[in-house]
Structure 1
């Protein structure tokens, strides 16, 4: 294994590491432990982590408590309609996504299943060729477009390191249209990004990306780089790389690079001093975060800098924030996770803290290790009602007002009793005005009934 491959192997472990400090932000759950398989990977790689001494990406902490800000008076609804609840054909699933009329999931035993979103009936399922191999878990699925499900599968099923293929599956025929091998074995939100009828994916070689035709899988162009680790994203049909130095020997600068959609020709939009973590996008801007209080790693709580890069002009704006604002970005707001089940909302425009709120969910501790506890899901935001919803592994749900943090709704779905699986977060997605939730082998569709205005 060369230095570059070792670097990516370590990053894979870090991406799936549940830190002892129980403040792992649910907003980047696809880069932290979300499923049992990731916890197994952590235990086998613990010695390597100790030797590397690398803490980058371990946990992004705000360290924030409730700020005591006044909340607008409003009633809290506890009404909901459970449309269906389904027991899936396996107990563990890596990730799910929604498409027109269906929910799609993949996991250890199945490369994919399709569930009718109206009835909860499992319409089709495709078993994995080897459910006990050394495959990497998926933190997320690339998505659905034009009748094609983009997902992941093992490149060499059953091998000690199975590798990863990006797979395009025709939903109507259940036929695999094409496969593309990835060098980086991680399967997170930036490893395959849909843009303008194409897919930007890792190449079969490290530190390289390929633009693939979405229907045929044909490679349209490639782009490579050195001395940096890069996340991929797309804004307005245009692909971008967000890169940070991969070692102390690399130039200590972070860059945002635009890739021409037709040719892949790179253009550096902006350069920022020092390492920075990709938070997300907001309108036509990329958001980055970095420690600002002398911390030696991104895992240590403390002051941070929010960097906003305007993709049109290249203007760089930086703001001081009281903690690393890592989380879900939606409609100009960053929903970050604080201690335990506390959520802190920051303005994506200037880093101003807007509100903070304890979710009041049931996050159980692991027996014999009180520092290890379950995680709530990442925020699922319904912009039509301006509510951010969260789910815990016990089936409790809460809906917070996006603008004030006030609790607007609480609900519960009865789930089979299960042991505590610390460091694992369930998955929650918005579908129409309802919510699709996945906890272990349980999938459900629930519609919250929000309080009427002025109630």
Structure 2
């Protein structure tokens, strides 16, 4: 598949796919295609959606998950909550946030990191970026915090036309940079750097290669490279995995799930499936892949898809045909997606069947210059102990629905300063200690729902 064919495929997918809406934001389509022309590495279909963040955004799933996943009986909708704090950050444009022990950390083009006290919402410290007006891609998600170290992104060559990206390790106590590691091009997506049991699995300065880095020193523990494929990354039980799909029609038309030994990087193929796939997520010890079904050769072709489950313990493969790609947050056997009009859709991670669909009642404003473009809801933030999935709109309206049935259990609103509609941009919502931390338009807050 040549560059122009790939660009058309990406546009077709993004313009025609969301769980229940007619189109993704048009501006997002063009931005993604332009980025692909720079990188030369975006696989069509699901991978394109993952990079674009059309319906995903940054999420957090917490809790043990319980047993059985039985739907909770419908109950009264609560409107009670406790607002712990609301803070205006020093920038109105945020990439992503994450929580750590006693703190919330955020980044943007203007700030590589901003640290806030989780109890009070007060800014503890901030580290400015070197080029607040640079053209680097935003971070889809921050890698996280571990052992007193925050992993964030910064420009590799500030004020250059193509600044590139560094993975940066910051000591949260001293605020000192412990190490930097150059990534390929503008890689700041959800799989650019992920934590596993022995360190950080990160992109390298060249494509088709990953490096395992010591979390404290940045020392390279091992590397792994591949050919004729594009690979996503996942971590199950502290072990890193690659899910690889052909990068062109000339490459072998098969996809693989590969286990990387955490200590040595030794690769072992867990399973091989025919054709192109994209990583949908993980469900316990199982990797979830989606791919075109039947005679379809790409995600841009109309028709059904195949949901593939790969058990990483046994290598067993099970496949099910579904009407559409069940894309979203995976939580205890349920895949939660949202569309551009405020509707949540839940699919079974077992076979891709639709479990329920629910209008969330959120306020998604239209772009005043183009009524076809709207704001987006957040991805689901799931509290597995409470069996609730929470969503938010950019105006501060929040809703909590039952994970099993989709019944609305809680609603509230955080009073935020009125801002212009920003179509194609989703707020961020995270679960913390059975409460929520949300951010939108430079406003950050912590709220505790009181669900009956």
Q: TM over 0.5: same fold?
A: yes
Shift of 1:74: 1.6
Distance 1:296 1:398, change over 3 A: farther
In structure 2, the residue matched to 1:144 is: 145
In structure 2, the residue matched to 1:324 is: 325
In structure 2, the residue matched to 1:99 is: 100
TM-score for the superposition, normalised by structure 2: 0.87
In structure 2, the residue matched to 1:413 is: 414
Is 2:43 aligned against 1:42?
no
Question: Matched residues in 1 for 2:175 and 2:288: separation?
Answer: 37
In structure 2, the residue matched to 1:237 is: 238
Question: Matched residues in 2 for 1:337 and 1:151: separation?
Answer: 27
In structure 2, the residue matched to 1:29 is: none
Distance 1:169 1:133, change over 3 A: same
Question: Matched residues in 2 for 1:118 and 1:53: separation?
Answer: 41
In structure 1, the residue matched to 2:190 is: 189
Regions of 4+ moved over 3 Å: 17-26, 38-41, 46-49, 51-55, 57-62, 70-73, 293-297, 299-302
Question: Matched residues in 2 for 1:403 and 1:374: separation?
Answer: 27
In structure 2, the residue matched to 1:117 is: 118
Question: Matched residues in 1 for 2:231 and 2:41: separation?
Answer: 20
Question: Matched residues in 2 for 1:95 and 1:246: separation?
Answer: 29
Is 2:308 aligned against 1:313?
no
Is 2:422 aligned against 1:433?
no
Question: Matched residues in 1 for 2:300 and 2:359: separation?
Answer: 21
The answer to whether the 8 Å contact 2:19/2:337 transfers is no
In structure 2, the residue matched to 1:23 is: 18
Aligned positions of 1:27-426 closer than 5 A? 42=31, 45=34, 56-57=45-46, 58-59=48-49, 72-292=73-293, 297-298=298-299, 302-338=303-339, 340-426=341-427
Distance 1:318 1:399, change over 3 A: same
* CA offset digits 1:92-137 (Å, max 9, x no partner): 0100000011100000100000011110101000000111222221
Distance 1:153 1:374, change over 3 A: same
Distance 1:44 1:274, change over 3 A: closer
* CA offset digits 1:370-390 (Å, max 9, x no partner): 321111001000112110000
The answer to whether the 8 Å contact 2:89/2:442 transfers is yes
The answer to whether the 8 Å contact 2:81/2:447 transfers is yes
Shift of 1:354: 1.8
Question: Matched residues in 1 for 2:41 and 2:207: separation?
Answer: 20
Distance 1:421 1:295, change over 3 A: farther
Across the aligned residues of Structure 1 and Structure 2, the Cα RMSD in angstroms comes to 3.3
* Structure 1 unpaired stretches of 5+: 27-31, 63-69
Secondary structure class of the residue paired with 1:42:
helix
Shift of 1:78: 1.1
TM-score for the superposition, normalised by structure 1: 0.86
